[in-house]
């Protein structure tokens, strides 16, 4: 066999971890980036007790048992993680699935949780598939912990997921001769962008009409929560035309909180986005090719949004390849001109605020969950590495050198 020394990271699902786990730590680092004010430089410590941050300060604290690293950031938050317990397919019974809950379908035993957790993502919003025009309700969970919804829950039914653009129509049967029986279910599904938009508008009008007339409409209370701003709506829209559609839709129905996911061409419409009040989740950077829906994704997209004052988050979109995950996205955004502080914000506090969980996660402050990422060098540089991860105080990736 190969001599020792190679890096083998074997991450277990938390089910395999011992029941009684250490959740009290002292962490020492050169710099702690709190994402709540200035970083603490030239030596800092974080005290964690029972999974909660007890204190943060400069100087040294803790004895031999302390975890040490170069820098600490808050755990990363990804608003577009894809983990389901079924096949990632489309719900064919109805295009509008207002009552579908991701809470019923999320697979807590998927190896993908470990993949997200050890690459630094500690909180994830898992939404229904993009193939339905209105897919249902997403759930925000921690990426590690006891494998129960209760133990990992950040926010239940956190968002309503919708989708504009080519995606819902992609799997549909296009128009064909009006003879013979329909070939399958999908014959009736929207086959174009305009029909996708119509289906979504139709659902909203029916919901509003039902409320006015006092008649029953399935999922009316979900639509109401979106229309009142109690629950954000997250829609997929990659290309400029779909981003515009989303912004116009937000205005048409006065939807207070709309998050546009996958907005690779957001750089084309900073003014529209700013005035619309929508926030944005950017997909992983692509090189030498177009993003989904043939969208042209520029390196400076994040910077453009930052300069325009649009709230935005970066995302790994459940990337398969190790170097495409969320921890590597800020580097590309910074290459495009985004300042470090804004990049840090875009993977921590910004996504936390978008789904309203900023009281629990997103920054390193006393009283918040101990979701921490420990880095070997300056965070987000490709020459740095995530060496340690804590989720609610549990050590998911151990920064201490192995024997």
Partner 1 sequence: MKAAMSIKRVLSCSLVLVAVVGSATASEKLVIEAGRIITVQGPEIADGVIVIEDGRITAIGPASEVEKPWDAPVLGGPEFTAFPGFIEANTTRGLDRANESVDVAPFLDVRDSLDPINFFFEDCKRWGITTISVQQGSDCVIGGRGRVVKPHGDTVEEMTVRPSFGLVLSASPKRGKSRATQSQALRQAFTDLREHLEQLVQEKRDGNDRARREALYQGRDLEGERGKGRAMTATAWKVDGLELVPRGQVDEKQEPLLDLVEGRVAAFFHCSQPMDVHRALEIARDNGFLARTTLILEPACWKAADVIAEAGVPVVLTGDLTHTEREPLTGEELETFVPTVYRDAGVRFALSSENSSTQSLWYQAALAVGGGVSRQTALEAVTRVPAEILGLGDRVGALAEGMDGNVVILTGDPLSSTTWVDTVVLEGEAVYRRDEDVRNRHLLEGIAQPGTQPAAGSSDVAAEAEPESEAAMAEPDEASGEETGPDSGEEASNEEEEDTEQ
Residues 211-270 that bind partner 1 (CB under 8 A): 240, 267-268
User: By CB under 8 A, what part of segment 168-207 binds partner 1?
Assistant: 170-174, 176, 186
Among 12, 58, 60, 215, binds partner 1 (CB under 8 A): 12
Q: Which stretch binds partner 1 (CB under 8 A): 41-49, 166-174, 203-211, 305-313?
A: 166-174
Decide if residue 13 touches partner 1 (CB under 8 A).
Answer: yes
Q: Pick between residue 56 and residue 331 the one whose CB is nearest to partner 1.
A: 331
Q: Which is nearer to partner 1, 87 or 212 (CB)?
A: 87
Instruction: Tell me how far apart the alpha carbons of residues 266 and 297 are, in angstroms, rounded to a whole number.
Output: 8
- Strand, coil or helix: 398: coil
Contact set for partner 1, span 136-155 (CB under 8 A): none
C-alpha dihedral over 302, 306, 312, 315, to 10 degrees?
Answer: 30
**Region of 51-59, 216-224, 247-255, 334-342 interacting with partner 1 (CB under 8 A):** 334-342
Query: Smaller CB distance to partner 1: residue 11 or 210?
Result: 11
Applying CB under 8 A, among 316, 336, 351, 362 the residue interacting with partner 1 is 336
Contacts (CB under 8 A) with partner 1, residues 274-333:
287-290, 292-294, 296, 298-301, 304, 317-318, 320-324, 328, 331-332
Choices 44-52, 79-87, 253-261, 274-282 (CB under 8 A): range interacting with partner 1 = 79-87
Q: How far is CA 179 from the centre of its chain?
A: 45
The minimum distance between CB 304 and partner 1, in angstroms, equals 8
φ/ψ of 354, rounded to 5, equals: -60, -35
For every residue of 79-142, DSSP letters joined together read EEE---SS-S----S-SB-TT-BGGGT--TT-HHHHHHHHTTEEEEEE---TTSSEEEEEEEEE
CB atoms within 10 A of CB 230: 11
Burial readout 124-135 (b: 16 or more C-beta within 10 A, e: otherwise): bbbbbbbbbbbb
Q: Is 334 in the site for partner 1 (CB under 8 A)?
A: yes
| Residue 171 C-beta: closest distance to partner 1, Å | 6
Under rule CB under 8 A, residue 115 binds partner 1: yes
Q: Residue from 58, 111, 209, 228 that binds partner 1 (CB under 8 A)?
A: 111
CB of 219 to partner 1, least distance (A): 25
Footprint of partner 1 on 83-102 (CB under 8 A): 83-84, 87-89
**CA pair distance 374, 119, nearest whole angstrom:** 10
CA atoms of 253 and 280, how far apart (whole Å): 18
Out of 9, 178, 179, 216, the residue judged to bind partner 1 by CB under 8 A: 9
- Residue with Cβ nearer partner 1 (61 or 378): 378
Question: Three-class SS string for 226-293?
Answer: HHHCCCCEEEECCCHHHHHHHHHHHHHCCCCCEEEECCCCHHHCHHHHHHHCCEEEECCCCCCCCCHH
* Residues 349 to 378 in contact with partner 1, rule: CB under 8 A: 376-377
């Amino acid at each position: 066999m190969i001599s020792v020394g190679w890096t083998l990271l074997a991450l277990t699902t938390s089910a395999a971890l011992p029941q009684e786990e250490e959740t009290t730590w002292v962490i020492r680092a050169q710099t702690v980036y709190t994402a709540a004010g200035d970083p603490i430089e030239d030596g800092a410590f974080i005290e964690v007790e029972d999974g909660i941050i007890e204190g943060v300060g400069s100087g040294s604290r803790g004895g031999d048992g302390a975890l040490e690293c170069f820098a600490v950031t808050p755990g990363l938050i990804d608003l577009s993680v894809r983990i389901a317990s079924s096949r990632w397919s489309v719900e064919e019974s109805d295009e509008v699935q207002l009552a579908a809950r991701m809470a019923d379908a999320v697979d807590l035993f998927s190896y993908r949780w470990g993949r997200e957790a050890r690459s630094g993502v500690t909180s994830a919003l898992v939404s229904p598939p993009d193939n339905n025009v209105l897919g249902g309700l997403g759930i925000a969970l921690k990426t590690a912990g006891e494998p129960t919804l209760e133990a990992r829950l950040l926010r239940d039914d956190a968002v309503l997921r919708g989708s504009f653009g080519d995606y819902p129509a992609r799997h549909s049967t296009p128009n064909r001769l009006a003879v013979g029986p329909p070939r399958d279910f999908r014959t009736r599904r929207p086959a174009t962008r305009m029909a996708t938009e119509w289906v979504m508008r139709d659902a909203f009008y029916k919901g509003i009409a039902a409320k006015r007339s006092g008649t029953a409409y399935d999922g009316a209370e979900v639509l109401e929560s979106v229309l009142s701003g109690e629950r954000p709506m997250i829609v997929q829209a990659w290309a400029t035309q779909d981003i515009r559609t989303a912004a116009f839709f937000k205005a048409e129905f006065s939807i207070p909180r709309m998050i546009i996911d996958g907005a690779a061409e957001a750089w084309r419409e900073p003014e529209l986005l700013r005035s619309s009040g929508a926030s944005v989740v950017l997909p992983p950077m692509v090189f030498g090719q177009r993003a989904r829906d043939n969208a042209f994704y520029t390196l400076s997209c994040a910077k453009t949004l930052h300069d325009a004052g649009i709230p935005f988050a970066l995302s790994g979109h459940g990337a398969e390849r190790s170097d495409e995950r969320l921890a590597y996205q800020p580097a590309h955004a910074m290459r495009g001109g985004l300042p470090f502080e804004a990049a840090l914000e875009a993977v921590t506090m910004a996504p936390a605020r978008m789904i309203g969980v900023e009281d629990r996660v997103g920054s390193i402050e006393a009283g918040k969950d101990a979701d921490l990422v420990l880095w070997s060098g300056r965070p987000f540089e490709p020459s740095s590495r995530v060496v340690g991860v804590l989720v609610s105080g549990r050590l998911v990736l151990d920064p201490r050198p192995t024997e």
